[in-house]
A = this chain, B = another copy of it.
Amino acid sequence: MEFKVNSKELEKILARVYPAIPSRTPMPILENFLFAIEDGALTVYATDLEISLKSSINIVAEENKSILLPAKLLYDVVRSFKDTTITFEISDSGRTTLTTEHGKYTISHLGTEDYPDIPSFPDENVDEEEINEFSINGMDLKYALEKTTFALSKEEMRPAMMGALFEFSGEGFRIVTTDGHRLVNYLRKDIKQDFDEQYIVPERALSVIQKLLDERDVKIFLTKTHISFTLNEIELISRLIKHKYPDYSSVIPLENEFTLKIKTKELHDAIKRMMLFSSSSTRRVKFSLKDNVLQISAEDTDLGASGTENILCEYIGDPLDIGFNSQYVNDILSHMTSEEELLFKLHSPTKAVIIFPTEKKENLDLMMLLMPVRLNS
């Protein structure tokens, strides 16, 4: 059979689907795109068994056919073409020939019989009542993921924390991420659904969808086992993490009575310098707060190097010395650069600190939490 497609249009859908091709896999069959030609549409699938991506394009084809084509080779070849028409000829003997104005190329294809099933949404095996559904603007979701995913845990010992909690409740739509050292709590108070549920979405799905988001709305379907993100031209389906998320609310201190207001950029610049002087094993910096001055200091005794800086701030509270991992402070500040000023709420050298932008956005609560580290002085 034969079909024709524009090279640049095909390149676009291959680029969208390619992120689901695993870079290393014990199952070489996953290194292929599945091309499904049906009723004048070409749908391209890819999966690494955790996430799958699919995207479709209208083509001129008389017959239906499904084959597997080596993803990297095909993507590289299609990218190397100018804007031109590609004629695909799929032979029954396992060879696919691409013809363009440039030349003629032959690639071996495989049948689809050994390819894993691609989940579809809604799945016929899932009761309609078990599917929850909501929409969110693409840029809003992108912002939420930018602020939260950096705090995801990478420790396989705590699988729940390797994903982001998506929580729907009377308060709104909440995303929580934590690795036990810091925590981000994002709450959209205007997205209220008629269901109360918790889902844990794995990191890989979030990082792939983040790159695909734009101004347009995203439709999200949720079942007990899967999440699906549908944009106009692409669908991402991911497994959910089937573990219980820790009770994040119990670690958020409610009575931190000391407050520190500080310019984000001044603090960030100082922390970037102090990181250079912090010990490479502990990465510790000390914050000393007193009389509207924040003194930050760090020392690397192995290198024989140390540094101290003073920053003017608004501090209301008792004099306080508190230690932090400078890398974690830097991570938080790197994700708050859009905020001019931050409010820290503190209590003691051993109690979690919470950090907010001083300017609140409508319908949006954003809070970051950071655990202190012990000062051995």
Residues of A within 8 A of B (CB): 70, 73, 76-77, 80-82, 94-95, 102-108, 269-270, 272-273, 276-277, 296, 303-310
Contact = CB atoms under 8 A, between A and B. Distances in A.
Contact of A105 (B73, B103, B277): B277
B270 A307 contact: no
Given A303-B70, A308-B103, A310-B103, A276 B77 contact: yes
Contacts of A105: 273, 277, 305-308
B103 A307 contact: yes
A277 B108 CA distance: 12
This protein's copies in its complex: 2
A61 to B, nearest CB: 23
7 contacts: A77-B276, A95-B304, A103-B270, A103-B307, A105-B306, A105-B307, A107-B305
Nearest to A98: B307
Nearest to A272: B80
B108 A303 contact: yes
A280 to B, nearest CB: 11
Nearest to A305: B107
Contact of A305 (B73, B103, B310): B73
A308 to B, nearest CB: 5
Contacts of A304: 94-95, 106-108
Contacts of A107: 303-305
Given A77-B273, A103-B296, A103-B310, 12 more contacts: A70-B305, A76-B276, A77-B307, A80-B276, A81-B273, A103-B270, A103-B307, A104-B307, A105-B277, A105-B305, A105-B306, A106-B304
Contacts of A276: 73, 76-77, 80
A76 B309 CA distance: 16
Tell me which of A105, A106, A304, A308 has the highest count of chain B C-beta atoms within 10 A of its own C-beta.
Answer: A105
A94 B304 CA distance: 10
A308 B104 contact: yes
Contacts of A305: 70, 73, 105-108
Nearest to A107: B305
Contacts of A103: 270, 273, 296, 307-310
A80 B307 contact: no
A270 B174 CA distance: 52
A245 B82 CA distance: 44
A86 to B, nearest CB: 12
